[in-house]
Amino acid sequence: MDRATFRPGPLARVRLTPESELVFVRDLRHPPETVWAALTDPDRLAEWAPFLADRDLGRPGDAVLSAVDGDQSYPAPARVLRADRPHLLEYTWGDDLLRWELAANGDGTTLTLRHRVGGPDLAPMTAAGWHICLDVAAHLLDDDPVGPIRGAEAKDFGWADLRDAYAERLNRD
């Protein structure tokens, strides 16, 4: 895909739990094993995720995930708590807890991300960021790469509109 024409797709299914856990659900056209590789392999993560991983996330243990914003990177400690290939990946990233659940859905996968955020005000921003990242991941899985869109650059690709739309959706539910 020509990066200049990339635009985010429709909103994902989202909700916020009383414990400030953002639940973000997307359907992908690829089987769980393929999605698992995109979630765990550091080379694949570098092509879509908001961070770089210092190792494969497919096994429990310590890791470093470095958030990227332009030429800057911000390393944070991480710990893979569970890695049940290809169905469940759970890890900490700084103070956040992320749980990726993959369920076969026909030929594709229903991906459910549960991301514990610092409070309800952060949920729409977090949803907008993951929305863009997972749209980029979907293009990557389709062999139509866009290249990573991270940090402030996301503002050039509709992040603010997504944040506002997710704020409205989360406040409505």
Q: What are the tens digits of pLDDT across the range 24-70?
A: 999 999 999 999 999 999 999 999 999 999 999 999 999 999 999 99
- Closest to 28 in 3D by CA, of 6, 5, 12: 12
pLDDT single digits (tens) 73-131: 999 999 999 999 999 999 999 999 999 999 999 999 999 999 999 889 999 999 999 99
Q: At what angle do helices 123-141 and 159-172 cross, to 10 degrees?
A: 120
Alpha-carbon separation of residue 49 from 41, 73, 133, 165 (angstroms): 11, 13, 6, 21
Angstrom distance (rounded) from CA 158 to CA 137: 16
Q: Which percentage of the chain shows pLDDT scores above 70?
A: 99
The total number of residues written for the chain in this structure: 173
* Inter-residue contact 80 to 60 (CB < 8 Å): yes
Residue at 58: amino acid letter = G
Angstrom distance (rounded) from CA 24 to CA 74: 24
Beta bridge partners of 26: 111
Q: Residue 172: its pLDDT value, please? A: 78
Q: Does domain 7-172 have CATH number 1.20.58.220?
A: no
Domain spans of the chain, in order of start: 7-172
* Inter-residue contact 54 to 42 (CB < 8 Å): yes
Residue 143: partners with Cβ closer than 8 Å, 6 or more residues away: none
